[in-house]
Amino acid sequence: MTNAFAALAEPMRRDIVERLAGQPMAVGELAAHLPVTRPAVSQHLKILKDAGLVRDEARGTRRVYSIDPAGLAAIRTWLDRHWEKALAAYVEQVEREEKE
Amino acid sequence: MTNAFAALAEPMRRDIVERLAGQPMAVGELAAHLPVTRPAVSQHLKILKDAGLVRDEARGTRRVYSIDPAGLAAIRTWLDRHWEKALAAYVEQVEREEKE
DNA sequence: CTCATCCGTAAGCTTCCACTAACCGTAAGC
DNA sequence: GCTTACGGTTAGTGGAAGCTTACGGATGAG
């Protein structure tokens, strides 16, 4: 995983992820519903794949892409970790101020 | 919230978030531990603030920044929603293939 | 009031990113 | 074998992003 957050930074790539979450699709099928050309979609998919967010499966000449739950789970782990840490720091801060 | 994912795309900003999660800090204090100048940190904090990920509080001439849990929670909501949708689509796909 | 400290902002530069157009490789159908 | 359909890759370009330097504003101390 190079950088899942950077992969999801682009609105176009989030749109792609949302569409794939609803239903696995091929590259051309995605491009048909998006305002960019097929190569652009292909490049986005490459980035999403490197980030571990999507998977691809050869299906004849077509290439069907689908969501990789592991990628989303990795982000969630990061969030949870730091969210809890922030809460702990906040509690500690409050306790420190109460002693004053 | 303009774009929380784009805000967290930069490694420097994730570093800042991690440090603030451990303990609220002022701008200069952050910059002292980072390999960039203070204005750069200030610009990053502005982006993180616009994204709803951090909050600031005036403390004399200093300006203390801390994590805003709501921002992280928003990302988590997005993840959960599409993750569940992807799972549902996956189950549906399997059932459809079993009928063939 | 003056000075020092802390911080945000503007301007400029460099680097990276998203997009298109053109090309090449591969699998299915006649 | 030839053609068609589907995708990945490359080169090139316009625009956005991050960094630094320089400057201006606000608060506290003396």
Q: Is A24 helix (H, G, I), strand (E, B) or coil?
A: coil
What pLDDT does A97 receive? 57
pLDDT tens for chain A, residues 1 to 100 = 569 999 999 999 999 999 999 999 999 999 999 999 999 999 999 999 999 999 999 999 999 999 999 999 999 999 999 988 888 877 777 676 555 4
- CA distances A21 to A25, A35, A57, A66, B48, Å, are 10, 19, 15, 7, 27
CB B84 within 8 A of CB A88: no
Q: Is A90 on the interface with B (CB under 8 A)?
A: yes
Cβ contacts of residue A98 below 8 Å, gap of 6+?
none
Radius of gyration of chain B (CA): 19
- Residue A52 C-alpha, separation from nearest chain B C-alpha, in angstroms: 14
Pick from B6, B24, B89: CB nearest A9: B6
* Nearest residue by alpha-carbon distance to C1' of D27: B61
Integer Cα distance of B71 and A86 in angstroms:
12
pLDDT band at B31 (very low <50, low <70, confident <90, very high): very high
Shortest CA–C1' contact from B40: which nucleotide?
D19
- Among residues A11, A96, A24, A98, which one has the least CA distance to residue A67? A24
DSSP symbols for B39-53: HHHHHHHHHHHHTTS
pLDDT digits (tens, 9 = 90+) for B9-27: 999 999 999 999 999 999 9
Taking the model in full, what pTM does it have? 0.90
Mutate to test the interface with A, among B55, B77, B82 (most CBs of A within 10 A): B82
